[in-house]
Structure 1
Amino acid sequence: MEDLMKELRNLKDFTQKCLTEIKYDIHGIFSSISSIEHKLNSVENRVVELENEQQILRDDIVEQNIRVDSLFSTIESVENKIEKAEQYSRRENLIFYGISESHSESPQAPKAKLLNMLKTVLPHTN
């Protein structure tokens, strides 16, 4: 009977040792879970920050696109006004074919050439 009691004590000691190890392992698992939860919360917070920054950037892009469209519209309007102004400035100009005009000569030179040509071609009457 004494052997049986000794065996039971050994079994009890072994069981307590195993329970102590299990408790230690469980404590380690809980520590790991707590650390993982902390890291996960950090990651979630960072994701939220990045999503907010992304939305801000998207809003900025939309605003820039609206501004670019407005500028293109303004450019087109200005180009049309320039074209109208150029057309208006040429309304009284005449083109005479066969009379050369160079940038190096004075603005009066083509006029003088035209008058000489007209004097030659048209008869002079008094």
Structure 2
Amino acid sequence: MAEKEGGIVKNGHEEGLKMAISILEEFGLPLGLLPLADVVEVGFVKATGYMWIVQNKNVEHKFKMISKLVSYDKEITGYVEKKRIKKLKGVKANELMLWPPVSQITVDEPPTGKIQFKSLAGITKTFPVEAFAADQ
């Protein structure tokens, strides 16, 4: 819980969703990266970049453009910095019937239109950034 110390916290779906989107915007990440449902709480510690999201239930979302199914746990945590989320917990991508946890997401800098997902299992996948736009 020390990670959350000094954090800004928003409760409820509407306020939490607004905050999550503003964090993604501020750090240059695609706005559809975290499709959230029934948000309970979103928190962010500006000094460390630590972010947490609590939902009422796990959410599965299919990114249609790349035909990729992603699972989001009730609690998602990570450290946000420019064009990157590292030490990510609570996000898994379906890969050949396995669900390896995604540990890092990076948008290419300088911009190439690509975003990379790295798992603790050593798997790295690259996709077009537009696949994670808010309306996907």
What TM-score do you get using the length of structure 1 for normalisation? 0.16
What TM-score do you get using the length of structure 2 for normalisation? 0.15
Structure of larger gyration radius: 1
Whose helix proportion is higher, 1 or 2? 1
